[in-house]
Structure 1
Amino acid sequence: MPALLQFILIGLAVIALLGVVLEDVIHVNKAKVTLFLGTLSWFLLFIFHDAGHEGAVNEGFLENISEIASLWLFLVAAMTFVAYLNKKGMIENLIHLFLPKQISERRLLFLTAIFCFVFSSLADNITATLVSVTLILSLNLSTKKTVRFATLVVFSVNSGGVSLITGDVTTLMIFLANKVSILDLLMLSLPAFVAVLALAILLSRGMTETVNVQIRRTDVRGVDLAIAGIFLTTIIGTIVSNVLFNIPPVLTFLLGLSVMFLVARFYGEDEDETPILEYIRVIEFETLLFFLGILLLVGMLKEIEVLDALVRMYEVLPPVVANYIMGVLSAAIDNVPLTAALLKAGITMSEAEWLGLTYAVGVGGSLLVIGSAAGIVAMSKVSGLTFGSYARYSFLLLIVYTVGYAASMFLAETVLGAG
């Protein structure tokens, strides 16, 4: 590949990142910027690739598109469920069932952290973020406090998923590569939870007011209960089917979505003023387009082997240090291709060090709002949550990430030993 082309493609990726960071300054939607530069980078790669490498570029593009399509379909299914349940008041009813009429902001902060941590261990990060953000927005807090809560949601959701193979894609990848066992992964839940509580303590400073929760009850129809049951069954079914039969989560969610449509038709919901299929149109397609652009850019960087250069870090640094840095880098580079590059590099590490990497790439993306799916989804839902507003808490996030990583390494080394 010509060196000039490689520099141009890396430059496009940097410009895309700057476009996201400076969205409030340039007033150009981040989805438009990333989608344009992502598609343009692959376009240039197809035109100016080395002679005889047409098949390799096409294969790389098809693999990238396949991964994106799987994510898109999963998001469409999950967001449609949440959009329906939110419109019908089911999520709000459930939240208000457990919340008192008055609660201190500090207590609410800790309850939010615990809920996000536990729920994301059972459901996927995106669904957990959607439900958690809905909770936050329903409380009508000030913009500044809403951003603070949203920051906690992103970190808690990402932390909750690292100890179960169904909670985070990178955890599943490392497990399937036979680097760690399920029982060993469960050890990560303790240091991850400690880090979440540490962040809640840091963010609770100045949270002295009382929140008046408006208890609103909406009438629940039989069809709403049925669809809520289908959603819950889909989440549980995703976990069980993936563990037992290695069925991709997207397939289970599409099956659940189709059942939702059929049940709604059985109840006559299609005759309502808002047919069930209409809920697909109200989901955040801006978020999906942003995902598309970002993943196209990351796929391009993987294709030109820029990500492979990161692996050389393990040749000059101890794995414990390199893993920590990889977690920090995952805030700017998608953790899935980053983890894939590390697994394919043939790096030799102890099981304790692989557990440390699992925590690092799973939680490190929380350092920037664009570093994880949870952050991107939260940013699309909370109007005051931007790259800049989230970055104000990046130092606190780095502190608790470091605490969690150190605790996970200490526990893993204590239980498993160095080898």
Structure 2
Amino acid sequence: MENVIILVFVFGYLAITLEHSIKIDKLIPALVMMAISWALISLGIDSFSEWFDSANHGLVEGFSDLAHESKMHLMEETLLHHLGKTAEILVFLLGAMTIVEIIDYFDGFSTIKSFIKTKKKSKILWIFCILAFILSAIIDNLTATIVLISILQKIVKDRDVRIWYAGLIIIAANAGGAWSPIGDVTTTMLWIGNKVSVGHLFGYLFLPSLICMLVPAFIASYMPAFKGYLEVDNFPQEKPKSKFSATMLYLGLGAIVFVPVFKVITHLPPYVGMMLSLGVVAIFAEIYSNSKFSISSHDSEEHDQHAHHSPVHHSLSKIELPSILFFLGILLAVAALESLGILFGFAGTLQETMPMLGTELHGEGVSDLVILLLGVGSAVIDNVPLVAASLGMFSEPMDNELWHFIAYSAGTGGSMLIIGSAAGVVAMGMEKIDFFWYVKKISWLALIGFLAGAVVFMFTRTLF
């Protein structure tokens, strides 16, 4: 039965990877393989010889000798545990997405355009890379990429020039997301899973992530594509749609940054702080829009009218639910493999067979090469299941350097292919960037940045 479940996962994973070829949204195979995997576990519970206790991170002693009812009860408790951990991530992401949409409702991101007053291509490159690095650490790398490419489209009219900027924005956004607990889904997973803390994450990864962005940007600034000046008379000076644009931008970004502070002070899960931040931003949004605040209405017509005018309701309607459902499916599907002890066993095999490159991470002797390969792998296949699998494979304590190296590799490694990260995929869609153009022109820059950052990480980890 274990082999059948592994096959289900492999075929589901292939369908996710080939999403653009088979024209099926990746959330569909993720949900299907999750449901089938847990159904097979339930039906064949008596055939499994071992069970992995995620709460205690170890195999359950004497599992094969337990009665059928006890095994079913243990399975239900395990599934509930994983659902709870997954829900923490999803609720956190829902809050962050809603705040970003509220900022956008007030056209808050138009404020960023005021930072760009030069026409020199190399200077514009540095401005966008630095903005991507900073913004992605606050509003996540996917949203930062969407915002900056939207601004880029208004400033750089020549698409052949613009796609070069887009390629470097992808690298910078993924680098910026790696060192922040709210900058990338995978880093958020590690933070919510109590594998990394805000202080150590910044200490370990800020410098490597910065180098990962600076090295490609520095090399690119000397390339022909970024020589000279933009051929435009004047930048479009559009007025913001709302007089509260700047206020909502700074309020929204400040509210998101407040979440890690709230967790440090209260020791509550991050999603609680995110809900508080969302509530505060929503109050100001409703006041500024001169709209009545109403959670529900008995009169459906009145409710529809309110939803049309309310920034909160409008923002909630813009949330990307397919991504939320994809995370639900993939995280619970990986949890199925973890519960059967498959990932735990695979980790042991990796640690025995992989060379050590002359150095090893503290703990159980996990090779640096394993984590670097995980980074390369995240460029080919989705980094969310890779990190979810690593949570089940390794048992190092909180803030062990292993978790920070995983956060760096999974976060920045995806830049090496345009399909390797959410930022790359969205840029590909917005600018119709060709896969092979990216491989020829941008991938080598991303690889150099990734390796340079990894070398710097090997130095910064010696400081802790």
TM range (shorter): 0.7 to 0.9
TM-score normalised by structure 1 residue count:
0.78
Report deviation, 1:269. 2.7
Report deviation, 1:98. 0.9
Q: What is the root-mean-square deviation in Å for CA atoms of aligned residues?
A: 3.9
Distance 1:330-1:84 versus aligned 2 partners, 3 A rule: same
Contact 2:190 2:403 in 1 (8 A): no
Deviations 1:262-309 (A, max 9, x none): 334444235695322122112333333443443344333434444331
Give the counterpart of 2:377 among 329, 348, 361.
329
Give the counterpart of 1:247 among 268, 274, 285.
268
Match of 1:217 in 2: 239
Match of 2:351 in 1: 314
Distance 1:184-1:226 versus aligned 2 partners, 3 A rule: closer
Counterparts of 1:30-109 in structure 2 under 5 Å?
Answer: 30-51=26-47, 52=68, 53-92=71-110, 94-100=111-117, 102-109=118-125
**Structure 1 residue 284 corresponds to structure 2 residue 302:** no
The alignment partner of 1:215 has SS state of: coil
Structure 1, unaligned runs of 5 or more = none
Hey, what's the Cα distance between the residues in 2 that align with 1:76 and 1:171?
A: 13
Deviations 1:313-343 (A, max 9, x none): 2223212323322333344342532442354
Counterparts of 1:195-210 in structure 2 under 5 Å?
Answer: 195-204=212-221, 205=223, 206-208=225-227, 210=230
Hey, what's the Cα distance between the residues in 1 that align with 2:167 and 2:330?
A: 21
Match of 1:27 in 2: 23
Hey, what's the Cα distance between the residues in 1 that align with 2:326 and 2:158?
A: 27
Hey, what's the Cα distance between the residues in 1 that align with 2:141 and 2:284?
A: 26
Distance 1:272-1:166 versus aligned 2 partners, 3 A rule: closer
- Runs ≥4 in structure 1, deviation > 6 angstroms? 174-181, 350-354, 386-389
Q: Which has the larger radius of gyration?
A: 2
Q: Which amino acid aligns with 2:116?
A: L
Contact 2:181 2:198 in 1 (8 A): no
Match of 1:231 in 2: 252
Hey, what's the Cα distance between the residues in 2 that align with 1:352 and 1:273?
A: 48
Hey, what's the Cα distance between the residues in 2 that align with 1:298 and 1:138?
A: 42
Report deviation, 1:371. 4.9
TM-score normalised by structure 2 residue count:
0.72
Match of 2:334 in 1: 298
Report deviation, 1:238. 0.9
Counterparts of 1:184-195 in structure 2 under 5 Å?
Answer: 185-186=202-203, 188-195=205-212
**Greater CA deviation, 393-402 or 121-130?**
121-130
The alignment partner of 2:126 has SS state of: helix
Deviations 1:78-101 (A, max 9, x none): 233323332432211x1221111x
Q: Which amino acid aligns with 2:375?
A: G
Match of 2:364 in 1: none
Q: Which amino acid aligns with 1:80?
A: T
Q: Which amino acid aligns with 1:195?
A: C
Contact 2:347 2:394 in 1 (8 A): no
The alignment partner of 1:55 has SS state of: helix
Q: Which amino acid aligns with 1:321?
A: L
Match of 2:16 in 1: 17
Match of 2:309 in 1: 274
Deviations 1:208-230 (A, max 9, x none): 451643221125335x5554454
Report deviation, 1:176. 8.6
Deviations 1:167-211 (A, max 9, x none): 566488489978899368525322321221222245553234516
The alignment partner of 2:119 has SS state of: strand
Deviations 1:207-266 (A, max 9, x none): 3451643221125335x5554454133123113112322333322222222233333444
> How many residues in Structure 1 have an aligned counterpart in Structure 2?
405
**Structure 1 residue 152 corresponds to structure 2 residue 168:** yes
Q: Which amino acid aligns with 2:253?
A: L
Structure 2, unaligned runs of 5 or more = 48-67, 293-305, 357-366
Q: Which amino acid aligns with 2:96?
A: A
Contact 2:415 2:424 in 1 (8 A): yes
